[in-house]
């Protein structure tokens, strides 16, 4: 009897203390959810995705994201919702915008300059 | 050709140095400060003491919103400075974040209440909409719009460098 009781309590406890989980109607949405929380940085952490964080704000955001997926919002809408509130640095994927042009294009400009210098030198020889 | 390369050897490092010098020597960039302007999201919450309903219409003019909780240690550290601000005539509205109503009231009784009004946000819904990551955080509001947001403890230095500066730049009277 005690054995049964103990095993019952054991099974029950693991459920009671497990993290909040997120339910979706189809597998596709579930996959979207787990992709999104990997692509969004936890606003409270120096680095680390929502998926890796259990900070209260991350738990709230995960809840908000799962709700938005159920409501039929697109990935872009969800990402905008979060970057509007917590800043663009919450997105690991840096958008191409006037203030990020230096970041995105400077390597190509630098490479072009190097190639030009290289060819001019070759020709001079 | 060699001449050009010789000059480039000097010019390129100077340019790189100048670029990083100007980018990195801006002293006004506090890591917790955010100056994006946005409207206070619409909310439907209750007042901490009276449990009366509160919405955006109950907030008017220029004031601070301070996010706090009785479980938050840094809020206790910050509290003295908020009291100083409040007694100098600055309007502070409290946003009680993920806190038990009775704990929050008890806390304010114990440490004195610098707030004109306290909004009780038990689920942190308004806080999440405003981009709050924890407590304490402070917003500067001018006519329904957030014009500065600081994540962390506000003290004399932060008050002057983040808030006073924004108040002067946007020419508002608090």
Q: Does the distance separating the beta carbons of B130 and A85 come in below 8 Å?
A: yes
Nearest residue in chain A measured CA to CA from B134: A57
Compute the distance between CA of residue A77 and CA of residue B125 in angstroms, rounded to an integer: 19
Q: At what angle do helices A56-70 and A27-39 cross, to 10 degrees?
A: 140
Could you tell me if residue B143 is left (phi over 0), alpha (psi between -120 and 50 degrees) or otherwise beta? Answer: left
Q: Domain ranges in chain B?
A: 32-169
Contacts B124 to A, Cβ<8 Å: 56, 60
Q: Is B47 on the interface with A (CB under 8 A)?
A: no
CB contact under 8 Å between A57 and B132, yes or no, is yes
pLDDT at B167 over 90: yes
* Interface confidence (ipTM) of the complex: 0.76
Q: For chain B, what percent of residues have pLDDT higher than 70?
A: 98
From the list A57, A87, A124, the residue facing B34 with the nearest CB is A87
Shortest CA distance from B19: residue in chain A:
A102
- Best A86, A122, A125 residue to mutate vs chain B (most B CBs within 10 Å): A86
Pairing of strands B38-39, B44-47: unpaired
- Which residue blocks in B25-94 are alpha helix, DSSP H? 73-87
The answer, for A86 touching chain B at a CB cutoff of 8 Å, is: yes
The predicted-structure confidence for A50-84, as pLDDT tens digits, reads as follows 999 988 899 999 999 999 999 999 999 999 999 98
Say if CB B119 and CB B54 are below 8 A apart: yes
End-to-end CA distance of chain B: give it in Å, rounded: 63
* Dist. CA B43–CA B45, nearest whole Å: 6
- What is the structure's pLDDT at A14? 58
Question: Does A56 touch chain B if contact means CB atoms closer than 8 Å?
Answer: yes
- Could you say which of 3.40.30.10, 3.40.630.30, 3.50.50.60, 3.40.50.880 is the CATH number of the domain covering B32-169? 3.40.30.10
Decide if pLDDT at B115 tops 90.
yes
Which residue of chain A has the CA closest to B124? A60
């Amino acid at each position: 009897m005690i054995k049964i009781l103990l095993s019952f309590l054991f099974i029950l406890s693991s459920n009671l203390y497990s993290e909040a989980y997120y339910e979706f109607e189809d597998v596709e949405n579930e996959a979207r959810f787990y992709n999104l929380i990997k692509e969004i940085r936890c606003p409270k952490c120096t680095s680390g995705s929502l998926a890796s964080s259990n900070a209260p704000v991350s738990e709230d955001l995960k809840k908000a994201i799962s709700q938005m997926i159920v409501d039929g919002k697109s990935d872009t809408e969800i990402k905008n919702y979060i970057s509007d509130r917590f800043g663009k640095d919450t997105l690991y994927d840096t958008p191409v915008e006037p203030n990020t042009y230096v970041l995105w294009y400077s390597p190509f400009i630098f490479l072009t300059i190097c190639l030009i210098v290289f060819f001019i030198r070759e020709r001079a020889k | 050709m060699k001449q050009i390369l010789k000059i480039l050897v000097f010019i390129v490092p100077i340019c790189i140095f100048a670029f990083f010098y100007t980018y990195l020597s801006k002293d006004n960039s506090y890591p917790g400060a955010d100056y994006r302007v946005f409207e206070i999201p619409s909310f439907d919450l209750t007042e901490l003491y009276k449990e009366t309903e509160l919405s955006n219409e109950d907030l008017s003019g220029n004031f601070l919103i301070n996010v706090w909780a009785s479980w938050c240690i840094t809020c206790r550290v910050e509290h003295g400075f908020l009291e100083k601000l409040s007694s100098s005539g600055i309007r502070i509205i409290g946003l009680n974040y993920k806190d038990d109503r009775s704990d929050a009231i008890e806390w304010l009784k114990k440490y004195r209440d610098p707030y004109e009004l306290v909004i009780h946000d038990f689920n942190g819904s308004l806080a999440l909409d405003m981009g709050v990551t924890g407590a304490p955080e402070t917003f500067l509001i001018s006519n329904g719009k957030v014009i500065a947001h600081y994540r962390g403890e506000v003290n004399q230095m932060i008050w002057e460098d983040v808030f006073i500066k924004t108040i002067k730049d946007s020419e508002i009277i608090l």
